[in-house]
């Protein structure tokens, strides 16, 4: 059944793909199930240039992913809903990650790297980065009040959608939204 639904969604997207496809109303129409919580912004807003680090201490900022769509997921090792959605985020990144799209997971607050590595191994995460916002500077600046929070950033580095709470990021609906964004080149 999943294959049939996916095939129908992808076929519809391929036939209707044009520059206007990423129109908010069309993207909203693709939301089903847990994706209904995804709220598209009336106007895109710039993301802050606040840095965060990887496990080795190298600094990054969200602007480093400019030029591709990015699903930024703020999470923590102690957050049960966060842990639950990590495998779905990993699957989405494995299937869509590349030149045009990437899932960027940022552990906010105190999250020791060995604990993150153990969790990733435990739940089977293979393609997600270990990125850290230990002082919660980026998450605070972006208005992350609870966890998990997922933010979709467009190619220009602007927030275009946000969701509070966990979701099935490996669902047909999530995949259709990502496919529509990528088709809107």
Question: For 124-181, how does the pLDDT look when each residue is reduced to its tens digit (9 = 90+)?
Answer: 999 999 999 999 999 999 999 999 999 999 999 999 999 999 999 999 999 999 999 9
State pTM to two decimals. 0.88
**How far is 166 from 129, CA to CA, in rounded Å?**
18
Give the E-state strand segments of 29-175 in sequence order. Answer: 39-46, 52-54, 59-60, 69-75, 101-108, 131-133, 149-153, 158-164
pLDDT tier for residue 185 given thresholds of 50, 70 and 90: low
pLDDT at 94: 98
Residue 23 belongs to some domain of the structure: no
Position 136 in a domain: yes
Listed in sequence order, the residues at least 6 apart from 12 whose beta carbon sits closer than 8 Å to its beta carbon are none
In a domain, 26, yes or no: no
User: Which band of pLDDT confidence, cut at 50, 70 and 90, is reported for residue 10?
Assistant: very low
User: Does a structural domain hold residue 178?
Assistant: no
Provide the number of structural domains found in the chain: 1
User: Which residues does 174 contact at the CB level (< 8 Å), separation at least 6?
Assistant: 35, 88, 92, 167, 168
Flag whether 57 is in a domain.
yes
Q: What is the CATH number of the domain that holds 145?
A: 3.40.30.10
Query: How far apart are alpha carbons 49 and 60 in whole angstroms?
Result: 9
Residue 20 domain flag? no
Residue 18 lies in a domain: no
Average pLDDT, the chain: 90
Instruction: Give residue 100's domain range.
Output: 39-167
Q: Is residue 121 part of a domain?
A: yes
């Amino acid at each position: 059944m999943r294959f049939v639904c996916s095939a129908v969604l992808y076929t519809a997207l391929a036939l209707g793909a044009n520059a206007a496809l990423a129109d908010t109303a069309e993207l909203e129409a693709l939301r089903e199930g847990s994706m209904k919580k995804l709220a598209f912004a009336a106007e895109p807003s710039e993301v802050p240039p606040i840095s965060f680090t990887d496990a080795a201490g190298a600094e990054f900022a969200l602007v480093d992913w400019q030029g591709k769509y990015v699903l930024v997921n703020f999470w923590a090792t102690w957050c049960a809903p966060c842990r639950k959605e990590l495998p779905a985020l990993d699957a989405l990144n494995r299937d869509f990650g590349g030149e045009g799209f990437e899932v960027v997971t940022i552990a906010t607050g105190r999250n020791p790297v060995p604990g993150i590595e153990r969790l990733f191994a435990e739940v089977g995460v293979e393609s997600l980065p270990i990125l850290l916002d230990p002082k919660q500077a980026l998450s605070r600046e972006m208005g992350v009040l609870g966890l998990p929070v997922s933010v979709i950033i467009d190619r220009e580095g602007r927030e275009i959608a946000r969701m509070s709470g966990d979701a099935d990021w490996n669902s047909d609906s999530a995949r259709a939204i990502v496919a529509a964004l990528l088709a809107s080149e």
